[in-house]
Amino acid sequence: MVVLTALYVHVGAVRIPFGEVWSGLTDAQSQSYFIVHQVRLPRVLVAILAGFGLAVGGVILQGLVRNPLASPDVVGITKGAGFMAAAVIFLFPKSPSYVLPIAAFTGAFLAFLLLLLLSRRLTLSPSTLALVGVAIGTVFQAGIQYLIVRHPSDINMALLWLSGSLWSRSWHDVYTLLPWIAVLLPIVWANSAKLNVFLLGDDITASLGLNIAKQRFLLLLLAVALAGISVSAVGAIGFIGLIAPHIARRLVGSRHQWLIPLAAVIGADLMLLGDLLGRIIILPREVPVGIMTAVIGAPYFIYLLRKERLRNK
């Protein structure tokens, strides 16, 4: 992460020598101060924090669903956030900038409430979570497409947000994300033993005295909060919540005490790498980070699907 951060600050449309990076951070009189301190540093921090949130949200969902192919998309979180954000962009184009992340965060929790309502019973079995989540995501995606068809003249900003982008992120976005991530990640880590128990199956979990419905609800709420606040800050970025936990699991196994922090670091690295490549691949223009993470993650996802297919034969 340190190496990627240094490269991130160094390269771009304006290349900053490594020797000037520190002065750009600390010396307000430096020629590089504005670019480093006001443009690239907040963007780096938003990428890291959002990577933490998306990756750990994916860890929780994969543990609850007991499926390594699960991600925030499974329960419709990303699509719910995307629909509400698109609604603001298309229907209220003159809204203040702070309305968009609030709307996206609201959409994520709307998807969560629909998940509970449609599941009906609070047992929230893994199969129910997956099936109902896919259905909710499909409905929200249809809503997004409807808005795009009805408002083709305003499509540029909507597509930029829906593809996921760190463009123009500022210290305001850092201050919005930081308290949530700083509070929620320790809570998730403190519940790592419960996630370990859920991997054993509902019967064993119940026999150990855990209230399955209550604990699954609380853990799902944590996943929704982490993924929702991250999506509200950086847009509908996919694959981070899927790929980062799986890579971490291959390195340290399924014990969540180690899986959670490592997945968070890998998620941040994937965000930084994706945005770094997007900033330099067609200078001076940028490719949204969501497109780059899809390019990085899609082949790995295909590999996972093939591996699961071979395992089930």
Read off the pLDDT of residues 43-93 as tens digits, 9 standing for 90 and up. Answer: 999 999 999 999 999 999 888 877 777 778 777 888 898 899 888 888 887
We report the CATH number of the domain holding residue 39 as: 1.10.3470.10
Instruction: Check whether 36 has a pLDDT greater than 70.
Output: yes
Residue with tokens 């899986």: 259
Where in the sequence is the domain holding 46, given as residue range(s)? Answer: 2-312
Residues 6+ apart with CB under 8 A from 47: 8, 166, 234, 268, 271, 272, 275, 289
User: CA nearest 54: which of 188, 190, 245, 195?
Assistant: 245
* Residue with more model confidence, 197 or 185: 185
Q: What is the DSSP letter of 75?
A: G
Rounded Cα gap, residues 82 and 138, in angstroms? 12
Rounded Cα gap, residues 88 and 5, in angstroms? 33
User: CA nearest 99: which of 189, 268, 232?
Assistant: 232
pLDDT confidence tier of residue 290, bands split at 50, 70 and 90: confident
Q: What's the pLDDT score for residue 51?
A: 95
Structure tokens belonging to residue 311: 């395992």
Rounded Cα gap, residues 175 and 196, in angstroms? 32
Q: What's the pLDDT score for residue 237?
A: 87
Note the helical H segments in the chain. Answer: 2-10, 18-26, 33, 41-65, 77-91, 99-119, 126-150, 155-163, 171-190, 192-198, 202-207, 212-234, 240-252, 256-280, 289-312
Range with the largest mean pLDDT of 38-42, 167-171, 178-182, 275-279: 178-182
Burial (CB count <10 Å: 0-12, 13-18, 19+), residue 26: exposed
**Torsion sign across C-alpha atoms 67, 202, 107, 244:** negative
- Kindly calculate the radius of gyration of the chain based on its CA atoms and give it in whole angstroms: 20
User: CA nearest 237: which of 87, 70, 69, 54?
Assistant: 54
Q: What Cα–Cα distance (Å) separates residue 208 from each residue in 12, 198, 212?
A: 54, 10, 10
User: What is the tally of structural domains in the chain?
Assistant: 1
CB contact at 8 A, 136 and 75: yes
pTM here is 0.88
